[in-house]
Chain A
Amino acid sequence: MQPQVEIRFTLNHRVVTAAVPPTMALLELVRDRFQLTGAKLGCGEGECGACALLMDGEPVLGCLTPAVDADGREVLTAEGLCGAKGLSPLQQAFVNEGAVQCGYCTPGMEIAAEAVLLEHPTPTVEEIRRGLEGNLCRCTGYVAIVEAVQAAAGGGR
């Protein structure tokens, strides 16, 4: 039996608590306990970025981050990027630029892109590409994705 560790953290702007075993991944916690299914399990070993989440403003892999480490932190999923009025400017830019095809990589792309914009409010194309280098899109949509991040940066965030 693994011990259940009590954790308390902010998930999409709301304080929540959970009891989790030390080997549980943060991805399983947000998907299975909190029904936030935006982040996806892709490869499960840090190669694809489909499970990306923001933790205290830093992009992390949901599949390789122990859920216990969320304790005391602020976790944001793609659902949490939305404001009261719906999609965030970045998310709207993904729609406008046609940066979504099958959509499986999109929540992870949005999180990685949000991290780029937090670090570089007006990023260069190179900074965007480096920021998204851990996120795979298998529909070959990178150009539109980079354009969406550029549009969001130029759109008075």
Chain B
Amino acid sequence: MTTSYLRPTTLDEALAALATTPTARVLAGGTDWMIPARAGAVPDALINIFRVEQLRSIRRTGDALELGACVTVAQLLKSKDVLQAAPVLWKAADRFASPLVRSRATLGGNLCNASPAADLSLALLACDATVTLASKGGRRSLTVEELVLGPRKTALGPGELLVGVRVPIRAGQVSRFEKSGPRPALEISAAAVAFTATVEGGRLTGVRIACGAVAPVPMRAKKAEALVEGRALDPALIEAAVEAAAGEVTPIDDVRATARYRRRLVAAYVRRCLEACTDDRRLHAAAS
């Protein structure tokens, strides 16, 4: 079968191309795609959106950070706006693969690849981000939970393209990103936790505890979140939340870790995140 290759330079061209060939594979940086492609998995049609400038912008508006789908991980790391307005996303980017991958891997690619271990998706889940899907017919907005349906499975319809991500800015937010691995670089998470909250007068509000690589999709530990929401933390409450989080994740045994070990990692990370909120010095570090 003949493969067609298109490299649109504008978003309109990209959406028109996708409307004409809705089964086309969309290519961004290619860091996930090249491995199966080189092994011979050639798609019917390929639309390369990596050079669409409209999809490469990082914009801070009054109450949100607007990120284009083809913003690379390297761009996230270089952005002061990302560091200040979405620190948990910056921290996930800082632990993402290596500089050689970060220069090409994109935000949209990490979301649409829909890996259970996607670190950026996890961070976006912890900051209540929404994604914008566009097609020739119009636009719609979804949460990360609505977008990612299962391993390698998203809610993107035929002819639809993920064009951007919106992260609401929450003042006074603290955050942490915890991820397993013997060294910081090039680690595919065996388990990861992205945490955000607002701490006021010793009480946590807007608590988000997102857990990665411990369920078919990045998931929020909502029972644990509910336990600590609006409360002042004490050691017993922290332990209750830790237990709740370890209980509500649904990890599997695989080549990277056993389910049992993954639960223990989640417990350790959630404990670390919550304990940091009770300690002014660590709280300050988590806020940066």
Contact = CB atoms under 8 A, between A and B. Distances in A.
User: Interface residues of B: mostly helix, strand, loop or mixed?
Assistant: loop
Interface string B195-235: 00000000000000000000000000000000000000000
B100 A25 contact: no
Interface stretch (A62-70, A76-84, A146-154): A62-70
Given A64-B35, A133-B186, A3 B98 contact: no
A99 interface: no
B4 A47 contact: no
Nearest to A46: B101
Given A25-B38, A66-B30, A66-B48, A5 B101 contact: no
Given A69-B30, A133-B185, A60 B100 contact: yes
A23 B38 contact: yes
B23 interface: no
Interface residues of A, number: 32
A49 B4 contact: no
A131 interface: yes
A115 B100 CA distance: 10
A89 interface: no
B100 A44 contact: no
Given A45-B35, A58-B74, A133 B99 contact: yes
A130 B30 contact: no
Contacts of A71: 7
Contacts of B183: 133
Interface in B24-53: 27, 30-31, 34-35, 37-38, 42, 46, 48, 50-51
A3 B5 contact: yes
Given A22-B3, A59-B103, A133 B34 contact: no
Given A1-B3, A22-B5, A46-B97, A69 B34 contact: no
B34 A2 contact: no
Interface in A120-140: 130-131, 133-135
A90 interface: no
A68 B35 CA distance: 15
Interface of B: 2-5, 7, 27, 30-31, 34-35, 37-38, 42, 46, 48, 50-51, 74, 97-101, 103-104, 183-186
Going nearest first, the 8 A-B pairs with the smallest beta carbon separation are: A134-B98, A133-B185, A23-B37, A134-B100, A58-B103, A64-B34, A22-B5, A61-B100
Given A55-B103, A134-B185, 10 more contacts: A3-B3, A22-B5, A23-B42, A44-B38, A59-B100, A63-B34, A66-B27, A133-B99, A134-B97, A135-B100
